[in-house]
Amino acid sequence: MTLELNTLYNSDCIEGMEKLEDKSIDMILCDLPYGTTNCKWDEIIPFDQLWEQYKRIIKDNGAIVLTASQPFTTKLISSNMSWFRYEWIWKKGRHTTGFQNAKRMPLKNHENICVFYKKLPTYNPQGIIPLVKVRKSSRRKGGDLLGKGLTKEYTTTHTNYPRSILDYSRDKKTFHPTQKPLTLFEYLIKTYTNRGDLVLDNCMGSCTTALAADNTKRKWIGFELEQEYCNKGIERINTNREQLGLSQASVRTINDLLEGGYENDSTNHTR
C-alpha cells in the first residue's frame, strides 16, 4: 500500500508505519512520548516494535532524529546503541522547570535530541561562513604520543560550524503540552535533508514537523492517534499552507485507503 504524501493519518503509528514501503523515508523527525505523565498520549511506544519499523522504512543513509528528556533519554539510547551516534542539546531559551525541587537539584531548561543512523546521512551544517582565505593544516593520525603515525593535510574552507547546543525559545502560541519550536524543527530538517526529501513524523501531536517540512520545501507524512490533535493540527497545517500558496492537506485513516471510501465521504475528514 502506498500512503499519500503531505497527509496526516489518524492512526496508531506502528499500524501506520507498517503500510510504508521499505527504505522510503529520508528522515524521521519525531517528538516521541516520554512516559513522564499519566496522560494516555504519553505512553512509551514499545521500542522493539518502534525500531522494527524505523529500520525497515528509513533509507540506508537516512537520519532518525528523536527528541527526549531524562530518564527517557537513557532508555531511548539504550534501545538501539548500535545506531546511536550523538546528541544535540535543545536549550529552551528562558523557559525553566523544576522549581518544586529547586532546593534538591538544579532547575532544568533543556531537552535532548538524539541522532541515530545506519550510514552517514545527509548533513548540511547550518550557519557556516566561507573563509576569505582557505586554511590548511597538518595533523598526525595515530601514534601522536610517540611522535609517529601518518600525517594528513586538512583544508578549512568555512568557519562558524554548528555546536551541540541549540538555543530556541518555545513558540508563544501552542495547543499541545509538549509542542516544540517551529524554528528548531526547521533547523533539524534543513540539516539532515535536501529539498524534495520525505520526512516522517510518527507522533505528529502539534504537527510542527509538517509545518517545518512545508516551510523548507520537503515532503512529509504523519501519524497521530488522538483525534483532537488531528483536528487542531490539520487546521494549523492548512493555515500555513495557504500562506505558502500550497494545496490543502487532509486527515485520513488507514481504513480510508483499505476501503477506498474517502473521496465519497467529506464529513468525517478535514481537508
Q: Would you kindly state where each structural domain of the chain is located, as residue ranges? A: 7-126+164-259, 134-161
What grid cell was written down for 249? 492537506
**What is the Cα–Cα distance from 229 to 251, expressed in whole angstroms?**
11
200 pLDDT band, cuts 50/70/90, is very high
- Tell the burial category of 35 from Cβ atoms under 10 Å away from its Cβ (0-12, 13-18, 19+): middle
Per-residue confidence (pLDDT) for residue 148, from 0 to 100: 54
Q: What percent of the chain has pLDDT over 70?
A: 86
**What is the Cα–Cα distance from 28 to 189, expressed in whole angstroms?**
9
Out of 23-37, 129-143, 173-187, give the one with best mean pLDDT.
23-37
Confirm if 203 and 128 have CB atoms less than 8 A apart.
no
Average pLDDT, the chain: 88
Confirm if 90 and 29 have CB atoms less than 8 A apart.
no
Higher pLDDT, 176 or 197: 197
The length of the chain is 271
The C-alpha cell 486527515 sits at 251
| Strand 250-252 versus strand 129-141 pairing type | unpaired
Q: Which of 61-75, 164-178, 234-248 has the lowest mean pLDDT?
A: 164-178
Per-residue confidence (pLDDT) for residue 176, from 0 to 100: 81
Neighbouring-strand partners of residue 198: 219
**What is the Cα–Cα distance from 212 to 204, expressed in whole angstroms?**
12
Q: Is domain 7-126+164-259 in CATH 3.30.465.10, yes or no?
A: no
Per-residue confidence (pLDDT) for residue 220, from 0 to 100: 98
Q: Which of 46-50, 54-58, 171-175 has the lowest mean pLDDT?
A: 171-175
CA-based nearest residue to 84, from 56, 54, 111, 109? 54
Per-residue confidence (pLDDT) for residue 204, from 0 to 100: 96
Q: Provide the 3-class DSSP secondary structure of residue 166.
A: strand
CA dihedral 180→185→188→194, nearest 10 degrees, is 160
What grid cell was written down for 69? 528528556
